Amino acid sequence: MKFTIVTIGKIKENFILEGIQDYHKRISRYTQMDLFPVKEERMTNGVSGDLILQKEGKRILSKIPRDGLWVVLDRQGQELSSRNHFDFLNAQSELGVKKIYYLIGGPLGFSTEVLEKADKILSLSRMTFTHEMSALLLVEQLYRYLNFMAGEKYHK
Amino acid sequence: MKFTIVTIGKIKENFILEGIQDYHKRISRYTQMDLFPVKEERMTNGVSGDLILQKEGKRILSKIPRDGLWVVLDRQGQELSSRNHFDFLNAQSELGVKKIYYLIGGPLGFSTEVLEKADKILSLSRMTFTHEMSALLLVEQLYRYLNFMAGEKYHK
């Protein structure tokens, strides 16, 4: 199974970029993982959050192919333990899913249109993290999964 | 209110260190935050996890003063939203608490002795993160709180 991490805007924080690159390298031993930034809509005075989400949503729907499962990260989503997340990935793999897109929203989240197209909506935590931090956490979880499936020990 | 982040062993991952230093600098505009690493027990063959936890636990109980609240991060703990965590911190502040120790366990967690001494047990997520990542998430949450209380806008 291949993974694509869709973010709204490019990741800017240096330490997050380094961390993601680090896990990216480790993940590449097992499978392919790509980062796919979708251009963010600039927040300007007088423009409502809804309008921003709608514009970003349209961009997502037109740019992200439907050749794989769409897992959207959203605070309204289902919380899974790492082990339940492993089970979810294994179940998808057994169903023949070859590609998973993880979509990480910007500060405002996603438009209804995007949420409606999601195959699954997940939440990483009840706490609010920056979307960049969420991307970092997610790649760590994917590495954790791949390492576990390979029967290796990632004890940290 | 001052904060002390107690970790088992020093943080080693470079990108995590950079991230923590970054939030540390931002937090220092509002209050004092210290890192307090407690020496970890080496995991060697033939030594049980329980024994390791007991030894680390004794070290924690002897090194960490009781001049503040002990908040232990453990997967068995209570999950709070960021906003509920703000409310918790505000309530402590109103009760006159001047210092909070956040204790982040190693891969095995904490001994019963440490958990029993905790004033509060929190969980950051149902997912399992590395303890280093938990430290990074925590300092981000503290920065988020202090920034919010100062009436400033931290939109990310």
Taking 70 as the threshold, does the pLDDT of residue B39 lie above it? yes
How many residues are listed for chain A in this entry?
Answer: 156
CA nearest B4: which of B36, B31, B28? Answer: B36
To the nearest whole Å, the CA of B21 is away from the closest chain A CA by 10
Q: What is the share, in percent, of chain B residues with pLDDT greater than 70?
A: 99
How many residues are listed for chain B in this entry?
Answer: 156
| pLDDT, tens digit, 9 for 90 and up, residues B83-102 | 999 999 999 999 999 999 99
| pLDDT, tens digit, 9 for 90 and up, residues A16-36 | 999 999 999 999 999 999 999
Residue of A nearest to B43 (CA): A155
CB B123 within 8 A of CB B79: yes
Taking 90 as the threshold, does the pLDDT of residue B56 lie above it? yes
Beta strands in B49-146 (DSSP E): 69-79, 99-104, 120-123
- Which residues of B touch chain A, with CB atoms under 8 Å apart? 13-16, 18-19, 22, 43, 79-82, 84-85, 107, 124-133, 136-137, 140-141, 144, 155-156
To the nearest whole Å, the CA of B16 is away from the closest chain A CA by 7
Residue B156, pLDDT score? 46
Give the mean model confidence (pLDDT) for residues A91-118. 95
- A106 vs A78: which has the higher pLDDT: A78
Taking 60 as the threshold, does the pLDDT of residue B143 lie above it? yes
Return the number of CB contacts < 8 Å for A and B.
83
To the nearest whole Å, the CA of B131 is away from the closest chain A CA by 7
* Domains recognised in chain B with CATH numbers: 2-149 (3.40.1280.10)
Q: How confident is the model at residue A46 (pLDDT cuts 50, 70, 90)?
A: confident
| pLDDT, tens digit, 9 for 90 and up, residues B42-53 | 888 888 999 999
Q: What is the share, in percent, of chain A residues with pLDDT greater than 70?
A: 98
Q: How confident is the model at residue A156 (pLDDT cuts 50, 70, 90)?
A: very low
| pLDDT, tens digit, 9 for 90 and up, residues A52-103 | 999 999 999 999 999 999 999 998 899 999 999 999 999 999 999 999 999 9
Residue of B nearest to A12 (CA): B156
Q: Note the maximum CA span of chain A.
A: 53
Q: Do the chains contact at A129 and B140, CB–CB below 8 Å?
A: yes
CA nearest B123: which of B95, B103, B140, B108? Answer: B103
Give the mean model confidence (pLDDT) for residues B126-138. 95
Q: Taking the complete model, does pTM exceed 0.90, yes or no?
A: yes
Q: Do the chains contact at B126 and A19, CB–CB below 8 Å?
A: no
To the nearest whole Å, the CA of B123 is away from the closest chain A CA by 9
The C-alpha atoms of residue B84 and residue A127 are separated, in whole angstroms, by: 9
Residues of chain B in contact with residue A137, where contact means CB-CB under 8 angstroms, are 127, 129, 133, 137
Cβ burial, residue A111 (10 Å; 0-12/13-18/19+):
buried
Interface ipTM: 0.91
